[in-house]
Amino acid sequence: MLLPIFASGQQKITPESIERKMQWFADAKLGIFIHWGIYAVNGVSESWSFHNEQISHEDYMKQVEGFKAKNYDPEAWAELIKESGARYSVITTKHHDGVALWKSGPVNVVKDTPAGRDLLTPFYDALRARDIKTGAYFSLIDWSHKNYPGFLKDSSRYKVADEPKRWEKFQKFNLGQIKEISAKFKPDLWWFDGDWEHSAEEWKSTEIRDIILSGKPNAIINGRLQGYGDYETPEQNFPVSRPAYPWWELCMTTNDNWGYRHTDTNWKTPYEIITIFVDAVSYGGNLLLDIGPKEDGTIPEEQVHILKELGAWNKKHGEAIFGTIPGLPQGHFYGPSTLSKDSTSLYLFLPGKTSGNVMLKGLKNKINKITVVGEGSSLDHKVVGKISWSPVPGLVYITVPEEVQDRYVTVLELELEDELSLYRGKGGLQ
């Protein structure tokens, strides 16, 4: 469940009540996730490596000594993100290890690492200079904090019920950091994580939401605040059927891990990323694609390649992606599709090199024109099986010559005479 019946001072929250502020998110389609922290020094799992006892907490925290960020170039980062076509970017302000990327809390990169500076401000400034929305990942969990109950997978410092005063001290600290981020960085989007360890009441989720919205009423909050968020966030796993909630975002890595791991070379290909992306958009969702910079601030060349290839494809086919709405229901076309907001242009996505033959079922509209998006060629079509006395439309066949096909995903625009109209019956006279 995403939204409670009542929140924020008993004000009712419904999809209708947040629809206006969610519009930019619905149009954005693509965001870039950035996991950057001390875990990149040794290339270990972010926070989980010590929590799951693959490495001692002491050895994990020693990585602060090697986090130099000497090649960090926030302008170059933002320019690469812009080139990818992304409309927003989310960076880890603090992961479960408690190490903040700005001057805050017991451990932060300003006072505890050779980096010696706030790493967030210049990045957010660079994003805003390019009209890219800013996002702040924030872990509600802080396994390194002395007043946080959880620590290792098989041991805790205390139970909230046994030491409520100690928990109150952590709550005050946690809310304080959220207030700092809200006041200092004013994120357009908040990406919470770790809510599973406590209830909404224990996290003070209503207060967190109020803090954020009082500072920035149109801020968007992800669905990991124990029911007090604005949209769903499936992780790594692609939904097979279209999610029912109006707004959702698939967060996914470019290899197998979120942060930089020198041992992880299982890179997804540009083709795989692009097909995943168009599937998400076809289902009415966004893709939040992750990169994990090295400790020095260098983005791995494989991730640079993926973002550049994705960006080139987006530049060519952007009209079929950005600002569109979900496409055809399953059963009408064997592939992803989107619609223009007025539903008079239907976009069909053809992953990989096709056989050249495309079939569409149940389209009642007259097709005025078919164009290969980004290439410009006009294509012919043929209607097969239409019977004069039946309301059932015929099948639309389109031949797509090999020479007009994109090497990753070809896109066709079908300009319709009127707003999309579909036949949803069972055939015959029905």
Mean pLDDT of the chain: 95
Strands 381-384 and 395-399: antiparallel
Residues 23, 154 within the same domain: yes
**pLDDT at position 10:** 44
Does 6 score more than 60 pLDDT? no
Q: Which residue has the higher pLDDT, 3 or 427?
A: 427
Residues 232, 106 within the same domain: yes
Does 240 score more than 80 pLDDT? yes
| Contact residues for 256 (Cβ-Cβ < 8 A; gap 6+) | 264, 266
Domain boundary among 320, 355, 372: 320
**What are the tens digits of pLDDT across the range 408-420?**
999 999 999 999 9
Residues 273, 368 within the same domain: no
> Looking at the domain assignment, is residue 219 inside a domain?
yes
Q: How confident is the model at residue 5 (pLDDT cuts 50, 70, 90)?
A: very low
User: Cα separation of 165 and 249, whole Å?
Assistant: 37
**pLDDT at position 13:** 77
**pLDDT at position 390:** 84
Residues 128, 268 within the same domain: yes
Domain CATH number, residue 377: 2.60.40.1180
Domain that holds residue 335: 325-416
Q: What is the mean pLDDT of residues 353-368?
A: 91
Q: How confident is the model at residue 425 (pLDDT cuts 50, 70, 90)?
A: confident
Paired tokens of 219: 């801020």
**What are the tens digits of pLDDT across the range 188-200?**
999 999 999 999 9
Cβ atoms of residues 73 and 12 within 8 Å: no
Domain boundary among 286, 320, 354: 320
Q: How confident is the model at residue 11 (pLDDT cuts 50, 70, 90)?
A: low
Domain CATH number, residue 52: 3.20.20.80
Q: How confident is the model at residue 2 (pLDDT cuts 50, 70, 90)?
A: low
Q: What is the mean pLDDT of residues 176-182?
A: 98
> Looking at the domain assignment, is residue 268 inside a domain?
yes
Residues 131, 176 within the same domain: yes
**pLDDT at position 428:** 67
Element (H, E) at 73: none
**pLDDT at position 8:** 47
**pLDDT at position 7:** 46
Q: How confident is the model at residue 429 (pLDDT cuts 50, 70, 90)?
A: low
Residues 207, 341 within the same domain: no
Cβ atoms of residues 178 and 159 within 8 Å: no
Residues 224, 186 within the same domain: yes
Residues 116, 204 within the same domain: yes
Q: What is the mean pLDDT of residues 45-55?
A: 98
> Looking at the domain assignment, is residue 164 inside a domain?
yes
Domain boundary among 263, 296, 320: 320
Q: How confident is the model at residue 352 (pLDDT cuts 50, 70, 90)?
A: confident
How many separate domains does the chain show?
Answer: 2
Cβ atoms of residues 47 and 97 within 8 Å: yes
Residues 349, 279 within the same domain: no
Strand extents, DSSP E, 180-314 = 189-193, 220-221, 249-253, 286-291
**What are the tens digits of pLDDT across the range 126-167?**
999 999 999 999 999 999 999 999 999 999 999 999 999 999
Residues 238, 341 within the same domain: no
Residues 231, 274 within the same domain: yes
> Looking at the domain assignment, is residue 425 inside a domain?
no
**pLDDT at position 350:** 97
> Looking at the domain assignment, is residue 404 inside a domain?
yes
Does 386 score more than 90 pLDDT? no
Element (H, E) at 49: helix 48-51
Does 28 score more than 60 pLDDT? yes
Cβ atoms of residues 30 and 79 within 8 Å: no
Residues 54, 78 within the same domain: yes
Nearest to 412 by CA among 344, 319, 324, 347: 347
258: left (phi > 0), else alpha (psi -120 to 50), else beta?
alpha
User: Cα separation of 115 and 117, whole Å?
Assistant: 6
% of the chain residues with pLDDT over 90:
90
Q: Concatenate the DSSP letters of all residues of 92-146 into one string.
A: EEE-TT--BSSS-SSSBHHHHSTT-S-SSHHHHHHHHHTT-EEEEEEES--TTST
Cβ atoms of residues 238 and 276 within 8 Å: yes
Q: Which of 146-160, 238-252, 313-327 has the lowest mean pLDDT?
A: 238-252
> Looking at the domain assignment, is residue 428 inside a domain?
no
